Amino acid sequence: MGTDARKEDLGMNADEKVLFDKLVALLAKRGFGEAGPPRETTFAQIEQFGHQAGRMVARALDARLAEQHAAHFAGEEPCPTCREKHLPKESPHDLELQTADGEVELREPAFRCPRCERDFFPSTHPIAN
């Protein structure tokens, strides 16, 4: 038999594992109710729900980490063409990205170089400073 999924814990401590187990219990209840899957449920149906829940978690994690990553680009950044530094525009750039787990809405800092007449997005294409 394969490795227990809970052993792949990403180095979680005991408190984090408790929270993870609570999330799993919440998702299981959402999918099959308080009593769990009915007797006639096939493992394929259980697996299908697990993948659906996993994709939901993956999309939420992608969005959260992308938001945290974008925060690194709140100051001046060099234009990829002329290297002149600019502050981000007041309005971030919103986009929908198709991931392996479905669509994720992202918001990233957008920059404008008037000299080169171009927009650029360093969070998407980082430049070594």
Contacts of 1 (CB under 8 A, 6+ apart): none
Q: How confident is the model at residue 124, as a pLDDT?
A: 65
pLDDT exceeds cutoff 80 at 7: no
- How far is Cα 22 from Cα 30, in angstroms, rounded to an integer? 12
User: In 3D, which of 42, 6, 41 has the Cα closest to residue 21?
Assistant: 6
**pLDDT over 90, % of the chain:** 78
8 pLDDT tier (thresholds 50, 70, 90): confident
The rounded distance, in Å, linking the Cα atoms of 70 and 87 is 14
In this predicted model, what pLDDT tens digit does every residue of 63-122 receive, in sequence order? 999 999 989 998 999 999 999 999 999 999 899 999 999 999 999 899 999 999 999 988
- Ranges of beta strands (E only) in 1-129 are 77-78, 85-86, 93-99, 102-108, 111-113, 118-120
Q: What is the pLDDT of residue 4?
A: 59
Q: Please, is 94 exposed, middle or buried when counting C-beta atoms within 10 Å of its C-beta (0-12, 13-18, 19+)?
A: exposed
| Rounded CA separation 94/84 (Å) | 24
Cα–Cα dist 38/49, whole Å? 14
